[in-house]
Amino acid sequence: MKISAKTIIGAVVTVTLISAALVLMFIWGFCRFYVGPNKMAIISAKVGDPLEPGQILAREGQKGILEEPLGEGRHFRFPLFYEWEIVDATIIDPGKVGIVTSKVGEKLPTGEFIAERGQKGIWRDVLGPGKYRMNTHGYNIEIVDAISIPIGYAGVITSRSGEQAPSGEFANDHQKGVRKDVLQPGLYYVNPQAYKVDVLEIGINQVSLLGQGGSKVVTKARQLGQNDALNALQNNMLQQQEQKRADYLSKRSRSFAPKQRGQEVNFESGHRPKGIAPATLDDGEINLAELVSFPSRDGFPISLDMTVEFELNPGDIAGIYRRYGDLPAVVDKIIMPQITSISRNKGSEYRAKDFIVGEGREKFQNDLKAALEETLGGKDIRVYNALIRHVEVPDQIRAPIQQASIAVEQDLTNKERQNTARKEAQLNTELSLIKQRGEQVQQETEKLKAEIAADLQKQVATIQAETLKKEAEIRKATAAISADKVRVLGQADASALEKVDGEKAKGLQLKTAAFNDPEAYARWVFAESLNPRMKLNIIHAGEGTLWTDLEKTGFAELGGAQQLKGK
C-alpha cells in the first residue's frame, strides 16, 4: 500500500508535538524549582571538569558546588546533571554589619590575617545593612553591632593589621597602630576584627583628690538621643569601654602597692590603710587610690583636698591615646603624678600656718594652677581650674592657730557688738526722727488737702455762676432771634401776598385788555371752565323738522331738548 506524503508529514508533526509536550511536562514537573522571598538556592553540578587542587567552589563547566547561588524566583535545572539546596539569604539589619570570612581566594601574605576582596581570610570591608546572597560553603558572615560614637565622645582608631608603625608616629592605611584621624559622634560601619575603636570623653573632666579619702575622676555624663536603637548601640559601646577600663584598674590595683607612712598596701587581700580607696569604676566616675601629702617648709605633714578640671581636645586626643592610653591611664600616668609632684614641690615652700590663715593658701592655689597649666599644656592637656577645698594640718599647730584665730575673732566680735549697739542707738534716733517727720508730713498733707478742697469748691461755684450768666445771655439772644424771625416771616408773607395778588390783578388787566371786550373775555373764561369730555352735536335739517327729529340726536327727553334750545 502506498503512503502519501501528506500522511507522512502529518505523522511527523503529531510525533513532534507529542514529544514536545512530553519534554515540557518533564521540565515543568521534574526540572522546575522555586526560590521564595529572602531565600537562595545553592547549585551543585554532577558533571563537568574536576576542581583544581585546593578549589572549594566550582565555576561553570566544573563539577561541584557552584560559586554563584540563584536568587528568588522560578528556576529550571536538569536533575540528572544538577541538584540544589534552598537556604536563607543573609539579611543585615540597620545598625549591624556583616564580617565576611572567605574560604576561597588567594592566600594571604605571611603574618597578615586581614584580607581584601578576592583573598582568603577575614575581609577588611564589611557588609552594611541589606540582603546578601553569598554561598555559605565558601563564605561565612558574622553579624555584629556597628560602631556608634555618643555625643561628647570621640572614637580613637587602632589598626590591628599591617606592618607596625614606627615608634612615636601614627599608623597609615597599611600599618598597625593608632591612626591620627578620629571618629566624630555618629554611626560607623567598621570591622572590629581589623580596627579597634576606643571612645574617650572630650571636653571638661575632673580629677578630685580627696586627701585621706582617696581620689576620683568625674567623667562626662551620657547624653541620650531620640533614637532608641542608636541609644542601645551607644550603651553597648560605652559598656565595652567601661569593661576595658575596669580591667585596667583591676590590673593597676594588683600591680600597684603604694606605701603610706611605711605601711604596705595589699589590694588583693583587701588590707589597705584607713581612708585609702581601691581603684574602682562607678557610673560617670573613675576612682583611683591616690593621696596628696607633703611636708611643709617648717616640717609639718600637710594633706590636701582639691579638684582639677582638665580638657582633652578632639584634635589631640588620638596623640594622647597613642602615648598614654585610655582616660584612666592618662589620669594615672600623667595627670595624677603631675598633680601630686607639683603639689609637693609648691607646698614645701609654704609654712603650715600659710595653709590656714593669710593669703598663703590662695597664692599656693594660683601657683599650683599655673604650674599645672604649663606642664600639662605641653602634653596637650588643657587645665582650667585647680581648686583647693580642704587642707589638713597637725593638731599641734592647728590648735594654737585656731585658738589665736578664735581670740582674734572674739575681739572682732566684741568690737562688732559695740558697733552694733551704737548703730542700734543711731537707728532708734533715726526712727524717732522719721516718725516725727512722718507725723509732720501727715499734718501738712491734711492742710494741703483742705486748701485744695476749698479751692476746688470756690472754682466750682465760680464756674456755676459763669454758667448761669452764659445761660441767661444765650436765652436773651435766643428770644431776640425768635422775634426777628417772626417779624421777618410776617414781612415775607405780606410781601409775597402783595406780589402774588398784584401780579394776578395785572394778569387779569392784561387779559381783559387783550380781548378788548368784557363779554368776549367772559365767554373765554366760560369755555376754559367747560369739561373737556363734553360732546357737541350739530344737526342740520329742513325747516320745521328740528324739533321733530330730536330722538335721533341722542336726547331722550324733552327737557334735554329744551336745555339745548335754550342754549
- Profile the chain (567 residues) by mean pLDDT over runs of 10 residues: 71 77 71 90 90 88 90 87 91 94 89 88 93 92 92 91 90 90 92 92 82 64 69 84 82 51 31 40 60 80 84 90 89 86 85 75 87 91 86 72 72 85 87 87 88 89 89 88 86 82 77 75 77 67 52 49 43
Asked if 559 contacts 566 with a C-beta cutoff of 8 angstroms, the reply is: no
Give the pLDDT of residue 269: 30
Q: What is the CA angle 325-331-337, rounded to 5?
A: 120
What angle separates helix 336-347 from helix 360-377, to the nearest 10 degrees? 140
Residue 481 CA to residue 285 CA, distance in Å, equals: 105
What is the pLDDT at residue 523?
Answer: 77
**Cβ 69 vs Cβ 137: under 8 Å:** no
Residues of the chain with pLDDT > 70: what percent? 82
- The model's pLDDT over 49-102, given as tens digits with 9 standing for 90+, comes to 998 888 889 988 899 999 999 999 988 888 888 898 999 999 999 999 999 999
Per-residue pLDDT, 213: 56
> Does residue 261 come out as left (phi exceeding 0), alpha (psi in the -120 to 50 range) or beta?
left
Q: Give the model's pLDDT for residue 307.
A: 86
Q: What is the pLDDT of residue 250?
A: 78
Compute φ and ψ for 206, nearest 5 degrees. -125, 140
From CA 200, how far away is CA 331, in angstroms rounded?
Answer: 12
pLDDT of residue 559: 46
Q: Which bin fits 30, alpha (ψ -120 to 50), beta or left (φ > 0)?
A: alpha
Q: Which helix (DSSP H) or strand (DSSP E) does residue 14 occupy?
A: helix 5-26
Distance CA 58, CA 42 (A): 11
CA–CA separation, 396 vs 401, rounded Å?
9
SS3 181: strand
The pLDDT score that the predictor gives to residue 181 is 92
Cβ atoms within 10 Å, residue 204: 14
